[in-house]
Amino acid sequence: MKKKAIQSLAVQTKMVLPSDTNPLNTLFGGRLLAWMDEIASISAHRHCGRVVVTASINNVSFDKPIVAGEIVTLEAKVSRAFTSSMEVFVDVYVEQSNGKREKCNEAIYVFVAIDQNRNPIDVPALIPESVEEKDRFDSALRRKQLSLVLAGRMNPEDATELKTALFPNK
Ligand SMILES: CC(C)(COP(=O)(O)OP(=O)(O)OC[C@H]1O[C@@H](n2cnc3c(N)ncnc32)[C@H](O)[C@@H]1OP(=O)(O)O)[C@@H](O)C(=O)NCCC(=O)NCCS
């Protein structure tokens, strides 16, 4: 079975309250990570319909501080499904007073679907449709290899797609 990327879309809107902030009155990074983890896990669950666990959080970028009182929207979507694991992108936007939104953060999560015995279980393949979905799908394999190499789960020599991306002329 295959599922479209858009079927995994999960969206959540939050207002940044004083209890969410650090002494600079901006959103505490750990709070944003928790919000992103939650919405990303909902997206992964929508894709596979199974219990999912976070296997890895890759490439979190905090590009712009978010101030108390601002309205934040998190959008999560599966970018690629492998055998039991799924890569999920979370894009974070701040709503401006004119209604426009500005992207301020991004994170890439990896979730694994597990069965009743906590063993990894196969997930449906993903069909990317938009240009962005196709770009993220195409680059997901090298991110998976980088994540596995960093976790000590893959020999760098075996990370062929990653090596080709990093050293295209070798
Ligand atoms: C994630 C977990 C289920 C993997 O189980 P495992 O027995 O090591 O299983 P495998 O080695 O077969 O890996 C399963 C999948 O996860 C992927 N994976 C595991 N670690 C990964 C990592 N660091 N980065 C990217 N992918 C990873 C594997 O590549 C594999 O993907 P595939 O089946 O799509 O090819 C297991 O390590 C676990 O339960 N971890 C704790 C999860 C948790 O509690 N999260 C919350 C943190 S508080």
Mean pLDDT of 53-78: 93
Take atom 10 of ligand 1 and give the residue whose Cα is closest: 120
Take atom 44 of ligand 1 and give the residue whose Cα is closest: 53
As a whole number of angstroms, the distance between CA 82 and CA 103 comes to 28
Q: What is the pLDDT of residue 4?
A: 98
The distance in angstroms from the start CA to the end CA of the chain is 37
Q: Using one digit for the tens of pLDDT, what is the confidence trace for 79-122?
A: 999 999 999 999 999 998 888 999 999 999 999 999 999 999 99
Q: Using one digit for the tens of pLDDT, what is the confidence trace for 12-24?
A: 999 999 999 999 9
Q: Using one digit for the tens of pLDDT, what is the confidence trace for 122-163?
A: 999 999 999 999 999 999 999 999 999 999 999 999 999 998
Structural tokens at position 151 = 């976790």
pTM over 0.85, yes/no? yes
Question: What does the DSSP 8-state code read for residue 24?
Answer: T
118 CA to middle of ligand 1, Å?
Answer: 11
Q: What are phi and psi of 88, to 5 degrees?
A: -125, 125
Q: Please give the domain boundaries of the chain with CATH numbers for all domains.
A: 2-128 (3.10.129.10)
HSE toward the beta carbon, residue 15, CA cutoff 13 A: 3
Please state the atom number of ligand 1 nearest to the C-alpha of residue 147: 24
25 CA to middle of ligand 1, Å?
Answer: 36
Take atom 35 of ligand 1 and give the residue whose Cα is closest: 83
Q: Using one digit for the tens of pLDDT, what is the confidence trace for 39-61?
A: 999 999 999 999 999 999 998 88
